[in-house]
Amino acid sequence: MIDIQRIRDNSQEVIRRYKVRNFEAGELVNRIKELDARRRQYQQELDSTLADSKAIARRIGELFKAGKGEETALWKEKSATLKQQAKKLQDDLDAAAGELHELMTNLPMLPHESVPAGDSEADNEIVREEGNIPVLHENAKSHWDLATELDIIDFAAGTRVTGSGFPVYKGRGAALQRALVGFFLEEALEAGYTEYQPPLLVNADSAYGTGQLPDKDGQMYHVASDDLYLIPTSEVPVTNIFRDRILNEADLPVKCTAYSVCFRREAGSYGKDVRGLNRLHQFDKVEIVQIAHPEKSYEVLEEMVGYVAVLLRKLELPFRVARLCGGDLGFASALTYDMEVFSAGQNRWLEVSSISNFETYQAQRLKLRFRPSEGKNRLAHTLNGSALALPRVMAALLENNQTPDGVKIPRVLQKFTGFETL
């Protein structure tokens, strides 16, 4: 949710900025301004009514104490009238505030100045590209063929046990997964992140806090009997650890990392995008989350992109960094960089990380603030990114490192796997 102050201060600027997202906010913003004014009007009237009412109650108390109980009848009557008025004002206030909140929920985050205009993925701005595209031997295969041949992933078994999109990792495939998790966590700890093991099920408040609800309802698996959601990313539980908290300015930035399994319904996906490991209902991911000072959050974002780039370099994977255009930008994000690795067997780029600055979007919902050295408490900025999502990294490793003699394991992973080739 954006800060309503920005609409009060300069609604025209807000409307203009939303155009980068191809979002016509004019009508919505005007209704919000109107409701905001009405809400404040009701608030004032209610406050003064309640003030009167309290004064009368105090007066009655004094009369009783002075033994003049018979003089209170008139005041009681007056108080009853005020109470009725207050009730109505409270209802009006609640209605206005409720509707206002509802409309505010429909506003995406304001995009950062650097976000390019555009409609789709095709308009994203490639800001960096690194590494060499591997030249594969003649019989090079896709990772799904390779993995099946090497007997390290059993897609068919997963389908039998659960359904499509739930692969079974086996033997050295399972070991490689574990190695990647170990490597990612070790790197994160070295970079100063604190490791968390969060719950994999969250309540609706948490899902709302990070913006999964109501915006992305339907992406998450819902456990109806207990009204809980399977997490689509550990961003949700980790960020919600800080819901309703007021941090000390000196504690910023807070740096968290977590390994977790992630669950996504991915309703409506089909075709080559979902072959093999390209898109799954269940996958493993190491996530990094930072809670940053508003004036430092874009430095933090760049730092996080730099951090993920180091991981990819160490894994010897060719990658590129894209700044998402307005049309591709997530609802809650002000600026997002996607990190994509080139996967030679499929001859395409695969997104392995998405790093975003949500500014105050989540913080507003989470009531996540910090105490500055001077002045009033302020909303913090939240950021997160994958570091990294495993399946596509594994896909690229398999495809790019295949040789007639087997698949080579990158040097940095060998101490975790205990083997050098597959």
Partner RNA sequence: GGAGAGGUGGCCGAGUGGUCUAAGGCGCACGCCUGGAAAGCGUGUAUCCGUCAAAAGCGGAUCAAGGGUUCGAAUCCCUUUCUCUCCGCCA
> For residue 80, how far is the Cα from the chain centroid?
49
Q: Is 68 in the site for RNA (CB under 7 A)?
A: no
Q: Is 248 in the site for RNA (CB under 7 A)?
A: no
Residues 6+ apart with CB under 8 A from 21: 108, 111, 326, 327, 329
Q: Is 168 in the site for RNA (CB under 7 A)?
A: no
User: Residues touching RNA: how many (CB under 7 A)?
Assistant: 28
Q: How far is Cα 351 from Cα 103, in angstroms, rounded to an integer? A: 33
From 122, 268, 295, 376, residue interacting with RNA (rule: CB under 7 A): 376
Q: How far is Cα 205 from Cα 418, in angstroms, rounded to an integer? A: 43
Give whichever of 21 and 369 is closer to RNA, judged by the CB atom.
369
Q: Is 291 in the site for RNA (CB under 7 A)?
A: no
Q: How far is Cα 54 from Cα 209, in angstroms, rounded to an integer? A: 36
From 2, 15, 60, 396, residue interacting with RNA (rule: CB under 7 A): 60
Radius of gyration over every alpha carbon of the chain, rounded to an integer in angstroms: 27
> By CB under 7 A, which span of 71-79, 98-106, 171-179, 292-300 interacts with RNA?
71-79
Distances (CA, A) of 384 to 221, 289, 304, 339, 393: 22, 4, 8, 13, 18
Give whichever of 137 and 376 is closer to RNA, judged by the CB atom.
376
Give whichever of 40 and 411 is closer to RNA, judged by the CB atom.
40
> By CB under 7 A, which span of 74-82, 144-152, 208-216, 401-409 interacts with RNA?
74-82
Give whichever of 76 and 415 is closer to RNA, judged by the CB atom.
76
Q: Map 246-285 to HEC letters.
A: EEEHHHCCEEEEEEEEEECCCCCCCHHHHCCCCCCCEEEE
Q: Is 33 in the site for RNA (CB under 7 A)?
A: no
From 6, 11, 19, 57, residue interacting with RNA (rule: CB under 7 A): 57
Strands 194-196 and 254-263 turn out to be parallel
Q: Is 79 in the site for RNA (CB under 7 A)?
A: yes
Q: Are 195 and 185 in contact (CB under 8 A)?
A: yes
Using CB under 7 A as the criterion, which residues of the chain lie in contact with RNA when the complex forms? 40, 43-44, 46-48, 50-51, 53-54, 56-58, 60-61, 64-65, 72, 75-76, 79-80, 83, 246, 369, 371, 376-377
